[in-house]
């Protein structure tokens, strides 16, 4: 298996040009910043100039002195100062403007990723820069056995299939897997007529009894001393929040030692896209259709992970496939917690077929759902309480997310305002649970009623348009 | 086998109610996982189980879950993992349990669940009757109905022996009447633990379907479809289920015989014939009503009337041949039910007996008696009236059927 490398990712939509990354880099490198944020072609947008650590680096090819080389271990294009003859051919060979001559001293400077903990990423206040460790995941799990056959019959772009394969690749063979009726068994994992698509023990529980059946499996194995088996569910939202709720709630209350993963595609997609208790307000579904009188679902979604927090489950987390490294971290903690108590992982899973999202836009929908706070990513343990694993501050408007999803195509301004208000309300509640009282609301609470200034509000960002290499 | 659950040797004879007798029968069978949820008139049974486990008399995982639906569901999981399992329920609990209940025989899970029979809501009622058990007679569980507290205690180990037999592999309901048996107190001689252990032998409950990483398989994948191999596979599963049910008749007889040899208590496995040798009319009974019915038969005999009685112990599978043989020589039959069959306006046992008798070359007239609903007592007087009606029927008189025994009770 080839090695994949971690990298610094840049999201221009989140960058406001504040320049903190450049300051941080300059401080760490005690000189000129290796990263440059520059005004982009689109008005008000910014772009980044930073070494991509290319797989076929042109700078290395043009270097006549052998001073530049691709490091196979960490993927970084290394610069050897003692070999460099300062010809600067490399700076003209790079298409990204990412290797340059230092205005101070004139020698070559380029990003070395600070040994895996880049200062620029830590300094970015808007999360426009992210340390993408997906390469590490590939290196850790890429050669692990896929627990499903290659030909599962999921729809093109199915996010649930992606979740199934990753989760079970991580967990491996020493497991018992429940997949209650829905897309997950329906795509062939449990199988038809004696054939199965799964390599671990797998079964259809009833739609209504997943957590209970698993609890019985676990109790017996614990009793006979086989305590290392991961006893787990990959369940849809319908069987979790609706008719199977009693079993989930009961198992959580009793602290049954199981790993319950809810793959939330916001409805009964396998049976033809009917609404569930997890379907968000406004959604078109086949039972909340759009017509002259009704315009999609008229109720808000049940927030199952927060209900699990109220059960004080041993571990509760939300995750998104747009952030796989985070998903894997949470999966590790969820597995560990399942040997001690009820462990609940809620993974949001856009359904290209049922949501009317193009297959190649599913991950983008995942990402926008998080960036708009429509989906919040957090984790909870009774000991540590609730904490955000991805900041809900500076969200994009929820309409940016909604317009990528076909099932929201009909939404009018009032409906969008309703969703935005509910998203804000949800985040405020989660922040209170996380012990984060926002500066604005704290100040508001402290200020006299007639105060016209919102003291403590975040000042508008500075625009460092003059920052250039 | 695990070490706990060794019962003290100095208290083998107890005076206990039927629910405690069931709990002892379960404890002696050493289930690995017991799931409990209370419902009248079963509640004290699960309390006894919890107490036995709390006191270390029983080495089982106690799963006190959130409802009967999960009671049976956790046992599905435990059984597929390899455990021996037990629970008990009644009426509404059985109704709520129905979804996994319906699935249990299809999965061929050899579990034992006591049904403390009760009339089912609505009309609202929490007292004895057999409407709950009779309503689920077509689901595929074996059903055995007990007459006494001692028979309850003994029938639970027997039920495991039947359920776990390789030719059967089906779940068993050991039924005992709510109120009359559940709360009625009588002497019970507990069998020795070693006797039960030797009787049951090593368990192997998931050789056919299991959830075990050491034997990975897909349990219960989809079958069926529009044609070809799918539906034919479904047919083979269904046919196998029916074959298991049919095989159970002989296994039930053998298990009772084996139990009798080991304990000295020989219970009638399928049906019991009481004073049938020269009987001209017969009553058919089921469950705890039988004692009063036998008294009434004895009274009638003292008056010179040739009356006998057939008690049904095993109702599913239905011992049709044994019933037909036992009733082949009588001139009229009165079948006493503690439940109704809505579709045929009679008792459910009546309808079954009627069907069994079709094999006979002669037509025997029958009358359906329905009594003991909602906790009502079926007294020897009620049975005396039933006998009189049946004798009138034998004499060629018209008897309107069904007869509602408790309709005019004061």
- Cα(B328)–Cα(B273) distance, integer angstroms: 12
Cα B171-B243-A196 angle, rounded to 5 deg = 75
pLDDT in tens, A118-137: 999 999 998 899 888 778 88
Which residue in B70, B76, B83 is closest to A246 by CB distance? B70
Beta bridge partners of A317: A345, A379
Asked if B74 and A213 come within 8 Å (Cβ–Cβ), the reply is: yes
Q: How confident is the model at residue B266 (pLDDT cuts 50, 70, 90)?
A: very high
For residue A456, what are the contacts with CB-CB under 8 A and spacing of at least 6? A439, A440, A442, A443
Nearest CA in chain A to B60: A223
CB of A185 closer than 8 Å to CB of A179: yes
Cβ atoms within 10 Å of A351's Cβ, excluding its own: 26
CA B78 to chain A, closest CA, distance in angstroms equals 4
Bond before A317 cis per omega within 30 degrees? no
Asked if B77 and A213 come within 8 Å (Cβ–Cβ), the reply is: yes
Q: What is the DSSP letter of A280?
A: P
Query: Is the dihedral angle over the CA atoms A13, A18, A24, A27 positive or is it negative?
Result: positive
Which residue in B63, B66, B233 is closest to A219 by CB distance? B63
Average pLDDT for residues A198-217, to the nearest whole number?
A: 97
Which of A219, A222, A256 would best serve as a mutation to test chain B binding (most B beta carbons within 10 A)?
Answer: A219
Strands, sheet with B218-219, edge to edge from the N-terminal-most edge strand: A385-388, A378-381, A315-320, A343-348, A259-264, A230-236, A175-178, A202-203, B218-219
Contacts of A174 in chain B (CB under 8 A): 213
**ipTM metric:** 0.94
Radius of gyration of chain B (CA): 21
- Cα(B152)–Cα(B326) distance, integer angstroms: 24
Q: How confident is the model at residue B226 (pLDDT cuts 50, 70, 90)?
A: confident
B226-255 exposure pattern, b = at least 16 Cβ within 10 A, e = fewer: eeeebeebeeeeeeebeebbebbbebbbeb
- Cα(B155)–Cα(B287) distance, integer angstroms: 13
Question: What domains appear along chain A, each with residue ranges and CATH number?
Answer: 7-136 (3.30.70.20), 148-439 (3.40.50.970)
Asked if B69 and A246 come within 8 Å (Cβ–Cβ), the reply is: yes
Q: What is the mean pLDDT of chain B?
A: 95
By 3-state DSSP, what share of chain A in percent is helix, strand and coil, each rounded to 5?
Answer: 35, 15, 50
Q: Is the pLDDT of residue B95 over 60?
A: yes
Given its phi and psi angles, is residue B287 left (phi above 0), alpha (psi -120 to 50 degrees) or beta?
Answer: left
- Cα(B113)–Cα(B141) distance, integer angstroms: 10
pLDDT in tens, B279-336: 999 999 999 999 999 999 999 999 999 999 999 999 999 999 999 999 999 999 999 9
| Residue B56 in contact with partner chain A when CB distance is under 8 A | no
| Residue B64 in contact with partner chain A when CB distance is under 8 A | yes
Cβ atoms within 10 Å of B224's Cβ, excluding its own: 15
Q: Please state at what angle helix B68-81 crosses helix B98-106, rounded to 10 degrees.
A: 30
Phi, psi of A194 (to 5 degrees): 90, -10
- Cα(A413)–Cα(A283) distance, integer angstroms: 14
Q: Do domains B13-208+252-262 and B271-404 have the same CATH topology?
A: yes
Q: What is the mean pLDDT of chain A?
A: 91
Instruction: Enter the tokens of residue A120.
Output: 């620029």
Say yes or no: domain B271-404 is CATH 1.10.1040.10. no
Q: Is the pLDDT of residue A461 over 80?
A: no
Q: How confident is the model at residue A466 (pLDDT cuts 50, 70, 90)?
A: very low
pLDDT in tens, B201-217: 999 999 999 999 999 99
Contacts of A205 in chain B (CB under 8 A): 73, 76
- Cα(B166)–Cα(B400) distance, integer angstroms: 46
Asked if A194 and B211 come within 8 Å (Cβ–Cβ), the reply is: no
CA distance to A245, A272, A281, B254, per residue, from A276 (Å): 12, 12, 11, 51
Q: Which of A245, A269, A281 is nearest to A421 (CA)?
A: A281
Q: Is the pLDDT of residue B274 over 60?
A: yes
Instruction: Enter the tokens of residue B89.
Output: 């329920």
- What pLDDT score was predicted for residue B39? 97
Bond before B41 cis per omega within 30 degrees? yes
Q: Is the pLDDT of residue B1 over 70?
A: no
- What pLDDT score was predicted for residue A11? 86
Average pLDDT for residues B24-32, to the nearest whole number?
A: 98
- Low-confidence winner among A43-57, B158-172, B264-278 (lowest mean pLDDT): A43-57
- Cα(B106)–Cα(B315) distance, integer angstroms: 19
Q: How confident is the model at residue A441 (pLDDT cuts 50, 70, 90)?
A: low
Asked if A220 and B78 come within 8 Å (Cβ–Cβ), the reply is: yes
- Cα(B49)–Cα(A100) distance, integer angstroms: 79
pLDDT in tens, B371-386: 999 999 999 999 999 9
Nearest CA in chain B to A175: B213
In B58-168, the DSSP E strands lie at 61-64, 85-89, 112-117, 142-145
Q: Which of B128, B116, B165, B157 is nearest to B263 (CA)?
A: B157
pLDDT in tens, B126-175: 999 999 999 999 999 999 999 999 999 999 999 999 999 999 999 999 99
- Cα(B137)–Cα(B343) distance, integer angstroms: 14
Asked if A205 and B73 come within 8 Å (Cβ–Cβ), the reply is: yes
CB of B374 closer than 8 Å to CB of B380: no
| Cα A331 from chain centre | 12
Range list of H helices, A224-350: 237-241, 245-254, 304-310, 324-337
Q: How confident is the model at residue A22 (pLDDT cuts 50, 70, 90)?
A: very high
Q: Which of B214, B211, B84 is nearest to A179 (CA)?
A: B211
Domain boundaries, chain B: 13-208+252-262, 271-404
Q: What is the DSSP letter of A114?
A: G
Give the CA dihedral A323, A328, A329, A331, nearest 10 degrees.
120
Range list of H helices, A105-233: 119-123, 134-141, 159-171, 183-186, 210-223
Longest dimension (CA), chain A: 76
- Cα(A136)–Cα(A375) distance, integer angstroms: 25
Q: Please state at what angle helix A159-171 crosses helix A134-141, rounded to 10 degrees.
A: 50
Helix (H, G, I), strand (E, B) or coil at B332: strand
Q: Is the pLDDT of residue A440 over 70?
A: no
pLDDT in tens, A301-359: 999 999 999 999 999 999 999 999 899 999 999 999 999 999 999 999 999 999 999 99
pLDDT in tens, A132-165: 877 888 888 889 999 999 989 999 999 999 999 9
- Cα(A25)–Cα(B378) distance, integer angstroms: 93
- What pLDDT score was predicted for residue A447? 55
| Residue B210 in contact with partner chain A when CB distance is under 8 A | yes
- What pLDDT score was predicted for residue B216? 96
Q: Which of A148, A198, A152, A146 is nearest to A170 (CA)?
A: A146
| Residue B102 in contact with partner chain A when CB distance is under 8 A | no
Contacts of A214 in chain B (CB under 8 A): 77
Instruction: Enter the tokens of residue B183.
Output: 């709360």
Helix (H, G, I), strand (E, B) or coil at B35: strand
CB of A189 closer than 8 Å to CB of A263: no
Q: Is the pLDDT of residue A458 over 50?
A: no
Average pLDDT for residues A98-123, to the nearest whole number?
A: 93
A73-109 exposure pattern, b = at least 16 Cβ within 10 A, e = fewer: ebbbbebeeeebeeeeebbebbeeebbbbeeeeeebb
- Our separate counts of H helices and E strands in chain A read 17, 16
Which residue in A176, A224, A254 is closest to B211 by CB distance? A176
- What pLDDT score was predicted for residue A141? 87
* CATH number attached to the domain at B13-208+252-262: 3.40.50.970
CB of A469 closer than 8 Å to CB of A100: yes
CA B86 to chain A, closest CA, distance in angstroms equals 12
CB of A305 closer than 8 Å to CB of A317: yes
CA B218 to chain A, closest CA, distance in angstroms equals 5
Cβ atoms within 10 Å of A169's Cβ, excluding its own: 16
Higher local confidence (pLDDT), B367 or A462: B367
- What pLDDT score was predicted for residue B238? 96
Contacts of B67 in chain A (CB under 8 A): 246, 250
Q: How confident is the model at residue B2 (pLDDT cuts 50, 70, 90)?
A: very low
Given its phi and psi angles, is residue B60 left (phi above 0), alpha (psi -120 to 50 degrees) or beta?
Answer: beta
In A50-196, the DSSP E strands lie at 68-70, 77-79, 99-101, 108-110, 129-132, 175-178
Contacts of A243 in chain B (CB under 8 A): none
For residue B250, what are the contacts with CB-CB under 8 A and spacing of at least 6? none
């Amino acid at each position: 298996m080839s090695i994949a490398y971690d990298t610094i990712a840049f999201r221009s939509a989140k960058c406001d040009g504040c320049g903190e990354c450049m300051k941080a880099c300059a401080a760490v490198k005690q000189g000129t910043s290796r990263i440059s944020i520059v005004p982009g072609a689109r008005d008000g947008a910014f772009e980044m100039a930073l070494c991509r650590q290319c797989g076929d680096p042109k700078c290395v090819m043009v270097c006549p002195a052998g001073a530049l080389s691709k490091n196979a271990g960490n993927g970084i294009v290394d610069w050897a100062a003692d070999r460099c003859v300062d010809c600067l051919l490399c700076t003209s060979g790079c298409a990204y403007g990412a290797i340059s001559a230092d205005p101070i001293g004139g020698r070559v400077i380029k990003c070395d990723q600070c040994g895996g903990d880049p200062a620029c990423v830590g300094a970015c206040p808007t999360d426009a820069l992210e340390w993408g460790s997906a390469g590490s995941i590939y290196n850790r799990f890429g050669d692990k056995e896929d627990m499903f056959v290659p030909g599962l019959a999921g729809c093109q772009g199915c996010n649930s299939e992606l979740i199934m394969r990753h989760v079970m690749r991580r967990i491996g063979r020493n497991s018992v897997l429940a997949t209650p009726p829905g897309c997950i068994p329906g795509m062939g994992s449990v199988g038809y007529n004696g054939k199965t698509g799964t390599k671990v023990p797998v079964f259809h529980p009833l739609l209504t009894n997943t957590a209970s059946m698993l609890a019985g499996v676990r109790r017996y194995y614990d009793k006979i001393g086989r305590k290392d088996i991961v006893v787990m569910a990959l369940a849809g939202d319908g069987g979790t929040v609706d008719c199977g709720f009693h079993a989930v709630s009961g198992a959580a209350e009793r602290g049954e030692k199981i790993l319950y993963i809810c793959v939330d595609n916001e409805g009964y997609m396998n049976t033809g896209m009917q609404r569930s208790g997890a379907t968000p307000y406004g959604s078109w579904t086949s039972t909340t259709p759009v017509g002259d009188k009704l315009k999609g679902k008229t109720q808000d979604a049940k927030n199952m992970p927060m209900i699990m927090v109220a059960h004080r489950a041993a571990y509760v987390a939300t995750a998104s496939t747009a952030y796989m490294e985070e998903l894997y971290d949470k999966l590790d903690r969820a597995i560990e917690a399942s040997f001690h108590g009820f462990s609940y992982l809620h993974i949001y899973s856009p359904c290209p077929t049922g949501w009317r999202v193009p297959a190649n836009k599913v991950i983008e929908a995942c990402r926008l759902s998080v960036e708009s706070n429509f989906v919040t990513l957090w984790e909870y343990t009774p000991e540590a309480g609730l904490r955000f694993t991805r900041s809900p501050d500076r969200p994009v408007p929820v309409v940016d997310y909604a317009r990528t999803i076909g099932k929201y195509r009909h939404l009018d301004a009032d409906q969008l305002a309703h969703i935005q208000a509910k998203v804000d309300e949800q985040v405020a509640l989660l922040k209170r649970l996380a012990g984060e009282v926002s500066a604005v609301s704290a100040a508001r609470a402290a200020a006299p009623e007639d105060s016209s200034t919102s003291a403590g509000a975040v000042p508008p960002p500075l625009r460092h348009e003059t920052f250039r290499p | 086998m695990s070490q706990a659950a060794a019962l003290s040797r100095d208290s083998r004879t107890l005076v206990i109610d039927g629910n405690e007798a069931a709990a002892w029968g379960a404890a002696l069978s050493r289930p690995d996982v017991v799931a409990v949820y209370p419902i009248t008139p079963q509640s004290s049974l699960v309390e006894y189980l919890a107490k036995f486990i709390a006191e270390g008399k029983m080495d089982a995982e106690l799963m006190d879950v959130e409802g009967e639906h999960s009671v049976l569901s956790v046992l599905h999981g435990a059984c597929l993992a390899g455990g021996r399992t037990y629970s008990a329920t009644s009426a509404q609990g059985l109704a709520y349990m129905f979804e996994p209940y319906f699935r249990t025989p299809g999965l061929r899970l050899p579990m034992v669940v006591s049904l403390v029979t009760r009339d089912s809501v609505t009309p609202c009622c929490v007292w004895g009757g057999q409407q709950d058990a009779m309503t689920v007679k077509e689901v595929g569980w074996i059903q055995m109905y007990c007459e006494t507290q001692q028979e309850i205690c003994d029938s639970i180990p027997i039920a495991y022996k039947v359920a776990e037999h390789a030719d059967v592999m089906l779940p068993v309901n050991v039924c005992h009447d709510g109120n009359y048996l559940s709360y009625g107190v009588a002497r019970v001689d507990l069998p020795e633990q070693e006797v039960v252990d030797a009787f049951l032998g090593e368990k192997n409950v998931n050789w056919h379907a299991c959830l075990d990483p050491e034997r990975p398989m897909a349990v219960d994948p989809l079958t069926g479809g529009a044609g070809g191999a799918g539906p034919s596979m479904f047919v083979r599963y269904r046919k196998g289920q029916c074959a298991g049910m049919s095989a159970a008749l002989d296994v039930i007889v053998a298990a009772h015989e084996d139990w009798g040899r080991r304990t000295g208590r020989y219970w009638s496995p399928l049906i019991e014939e009481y004073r049938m040798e020269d009987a001209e009319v017969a009553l058919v009974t089921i469950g705890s009503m039988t004692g009063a019915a036998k008294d009434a038969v004895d009274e009638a005999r003292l008056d010179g009337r040739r009356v006998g009685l057939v008690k049904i112990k095993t109702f599913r599978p239905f011992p049709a041949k044994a019933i037909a043989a036992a009733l082949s020589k009588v001139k009229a039959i009165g079948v006493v039910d503690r439940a109704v069959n809505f579709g045929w306006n009679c008792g459910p046992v009546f309808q079954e007996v009627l069907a069994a008798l079709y094999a006979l070359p002669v037509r025997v007239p029958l009358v359906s008696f329905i009594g003991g609903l909602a906790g009502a007592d079926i007294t020897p007087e009620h049975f005396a009236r039933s006998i009189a009606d049946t004798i009138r029927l034998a004499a060629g008189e018209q008897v309107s059927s069904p007869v509602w025994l408790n309709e005019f009770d004061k």
